[in-house]
Structure 1
Amino acid sequence: MRSYALRTIAVVGTAACLSLGSATVAAAAPAPNQSARHGLGLRLDQPAAPSRHTGLPVLPSKSASVPTSYSLSQYAISPGDQGQVGSCVAWSTMHSGYGILMNEQGISGSPMAPMYIYAQIAQGDDEGTNGNVALDLADSQGVDTASDYWQGDFDYTTQPDSNERANAIHYKLSGYNTLSTGSGLKSAVQQSISQGMPVSVGLPVHNSFMDLDAQSASDYSYMPGQNDPVAGGHEMAVIAYNSQGVTLENSWGTNWGNSGYVNVSWTFLTRYVDEAYALGKITQS
């Protein structure tokens, strides 16, 4: 996670936050902001851990020269809705990311069950998580399908049963790659997406992001204002890129943004993203 020079301390709602130059980041161990209009859930206080297993690309590896634009949107499934649960990381990786991978690889069974992963992390305590934590579980256990997971989309207390764990084994990740943030993120995203690997990115989102409509979510122009407070940490999936920026699939349903998607500039992505992971191929047993 990038470091910033500390300047002032402000209060947003009931959570103390640090105003850090152009971005405001929640201070100590922030839980999902339950007063926010949409669920969040990225732990901004946790550093990204190095990848333990390199994810296998879905498509043949590209040369050093990647395409100027590339899209995995033809494989994407409809954006999910996490409700008010702080499970954005699980939705970004297990719903959006896995949905793309399964369609790319011709694997039936999607959508997957984000709560299979998040319930094991939360254990009834809805404090959010980070991408590496969720992906480590998908790497070691796999993830259950939504049709098999009877606990539904919002139960973060009830743990998976033995039948669900047995089914999840059939949908393990080959691994994942932890990507550089900051100036190196653009090339890392391009390399990953062009190899068929969806990317999950985590960042602090501002209040104005909650209200994006179809127009403002489409033109790559969104940038929070100077006095726009941070609502909390949030994770979304990168599904495409071009010269202007990237397309993100969110988990706030299809009534948000442009039918659940938003286009943001490369400047926005490299300025605000604090963690990024490329999901490797699914290995079926």
Structure 2
Amino acid sequence: MKKVSFLLAFLLFTFMLHAQGDEDRGTGLDFSQEKYESVPMSAPILTRSYTSLPRSFSLKPYAPTPGDQGRQPSCVGWASGYGARTIAYAIRNNWKNNKIKINQNAFSPSFVYNQIKAYGDNNCTRGSYIADAMKLMNNSGILKKTEFLYNPNSCTAKPSSYSMQRARNNKILTFERLARWDNPYNLVGKVKKAIANKNPVVVGMFKYGKLSGYGELWTPPSVPSGGGHAMVVVGYDDSKYGGAFEIMNSWGTRFRNGGFFWVRYNDFKTYIKTAYVLIDNAKSTPDTNTNVTTTTTTTTTVKRNRISGEIALRLSNGRDMSPTLSSEAKRNFNIVKAGNNKKIKATYSIDKAYSSGTQFRIYLKSKQRGYVYLIGYGGSDKSVNKLYPFENFSPFFNYTNSEIAIPNEEYYIEFDNKPGQDILCVLYSKERLDINSIISKARYGSGDFVANVKKALQYKMFKGDDLTFESDKIAFKAASSSSSSKVVPIFISVNHQ
């Protein structure tokens, strides 16, 4: 009888653990449209850039064991710090399926929550914003959980100045939002693209009713209710439940499927209010590698610092505007002195002159992660303007072998009624640039537009000898043994009549 009683008690205890409702668990996500839209949105890549995605992809092998936030409203710290930051760090270190190593190096949810929660909330009753968590990790970094322990009953501890110095070693490269506040256009495609490129996504679920229950698939409520909860998307599968995302929660391993659950694509679009992609620094590699052969005394320097890109100007009828490469493109690449003639020397020139009213788009490709900027120069009035990134968009190009259309897939650029030589300048960069400062120097410098831009970038530009240009299209490859080489400016001359 004792064994039977013990078994019944154990089963009842297990049932109660699994039957814990949402009211027994903390959430803690706050929403703000202003705060959300202050975060730059990811680059508006073309729809066709999503078509080659794999049918399923998972970052779960890089995820730590789901933790339990208890009743503390610290879900943002768990999702952003413990979840997404740890996943990105494990990916960077290639710790796939190494759960012991991943858990030992998991990041601290308290480091995040304790610093971003509402000022004066010493009783840990207020939530926080995902945007604030991302900014903290971007600007200040984060400590590991072993360095800054989680206390579900207190949130007043703050890292020391020495701890903040150590945290800087774990800063993320950047972060972006994936959709507009009230228009989650192609949100599913954007989240899938991020996951397939090994970038974890932190989402904010809103009025979801109830998450707890049995089985791995979440069923939406008949009547939407409740507040907000932050979690991490770790995978997707187009075949599972008709297409669904796998999400990591912060209510422990007894929640649903070991702490994870699935949400169908359509339900995801309905109940996800905010979505942020976390982008970590790439695994560091040396810029140069010197090899000495045993048969000769020759030292060979292998160029490891690389960047490449491609640009196309395409008319509204679908035809490309044919370019010609300047015969002096490489020789004059680093010359910053303005020429004596009135015509500005560009890297490429468009063969045909086009009349006012002609419509076209600019298509930008990047072969690697980096930053892309576009500046326009009007020859008739010598105006200089930033054309990309648009307001509230990120200059960071996070995806390889993808394209951006400028202005977008629905609209065109149209030649105005001021004939003359216009110049388009595309900047491909390995680091974030102060584009407003560059535009100011291009606008008010003593030389012509091309010379002014080169002068503003002269200490960061790849050398002409490091570059290879395509002759039949606007494309380049650059490789340097110098780590100071960061930027390739491409100037395209367009005449309209």
- Taking structure 1 as the reference length, the TM-score comes to 0.76
Q: Which one scores higher on RCO, CA 8 angstroms, separation ≥ 6?
A: 1
Bigger shift: residues 44-53 or 163-172: 44-53
Q: 1:102 aligns with which of 84, 89, 92?
A: 89
After TM superposition, the structure 1 = structure 2 runs for residues 1-285 of structure 1, keeping only pairs within 5 Å, are 36-47=23-34, 48-52=36-40, 63-64=49-50, 65-106=52-93, 110-122=105-117, 123-125=119-121, 126-150=125-149, 152=151, 154-180=153-179, 182-209=184-211, 211-213=212-214, 215=215, 218-219=216-217, 222-226=219-223, 230-243=225-238, 244-282=243-281
Could you tell me how far 1:245 is from its partner in structure 2? 1.0
Equivalent residue of 1:191, what SS?
helix
Residues 172, 144 of structure 1: CA spacing in aligned structure 2 closer, same or farther, 3 A cutoff?
A: same
- Asked if 2 retains the 8 angstrom alpha-carbon contact of 1:115 and 1:155, the reply is no
Aligned to 2:452: none
Could you tell me how far 1:98 is from its partner in structure 2? 1.3
Could you tell me how far 1:151 is from its partner in structure 2? 6.0
Task: Kindly report structure 1 stretches of 4+ aligned residues shifted beyond 2 Å.
Answer: 44-47, 49-55, 62-65, 150-155, 205-208, 282-285
- Asked if 2 retains the 8 angstrom alpha-carbon contact of 1:89 and 1:134, the reply is yes
- Asked if 2 retains the 8 angstrom alpha-carbon contact of 1:239 and 1:248, the reply is yes
Point out the structure with max Rg over C-alpha.
2
Identity of aligned residues (%): 28
Distance in 1 separating the partners of 2:208 and 2:39: 28
Bigger shift: residues 131-140 or 157-166: 157-166
Equivalent residue of 2:227, what SS?
strand
- Asked if 2 retains the 8 angstrom alpha-carbon contact of 1:53 and 1:175, the reply is no
- Structure 1, gaps ≥5 residues long: 1-34, 56-61
Distance in 1 separating the partners of 2:150 and 2:226: 28
- Asked if 1 retains the 8 angstrom alpha-carbon contact of 2:209 and 2:220, the reply is no
Distance in 1 separating the partners of 2:283 and 2:41: 17
Report Cα offsets for 1:86-107 as digits up to 9, x if no partner.
1111110101101211111118
Distance in 1 separating the partners of 2:41 and 2:206: 27
- Asked if 2 retains the 8 angstrom alpha-carbon contact of 1:86 and 1:127, the reply is yes
Equivalent residue of 1:231, what SS?
coil
What RMSD over aligned residues (CA atoms) do the two structures have, in Å?
2.6
Structure richer in strand, relative to its length: 2
Distance in 2 separating the partners of 1:43 and 1:74: 29
Equivalent residue of 1:41, what SS?
coil
Residues 154, 75 of structure 1: CA spacing in aligned structure 2 closer, same or farther, 3 A cutoff?
A: farther
Distance in 2 separating the partners of 1:163 and 1:54: 34
Distance in 1 separating the partners of 2:149 and 2:190: 37
Equivalent residue of 1:277, what SS?
strand
Distance in 1 separating the partners of 2:64 and 2:150: 21
Residue 164 of structure 2 aligns with an amino acid whose one-letter code is R
Bigger shift: residues 87-96 or 142-151: 142-151
- Asked if 1 retains the 8 angstrom alpha-carbon contact of 2:110 and 2:149, the reply is no
Distance in 1 separating the partners of 2:268 and 2:219: 11
Distance in 2 separating the partners of 1:277 and 1:222: 23
- Taking structure 2 as the reference length, the TM-score comes to 0.45
- Report how many residues are paired: 238
- Asked if 2 retains the 8 angstrom alpha-carbon contact of 1:204 and 1:272, the reply is yes
Aligned to 1:22: none
- Asked if 1 retains the 8 angstrom alpha-carbon contact of 2:108 and 2:150, the reply is no
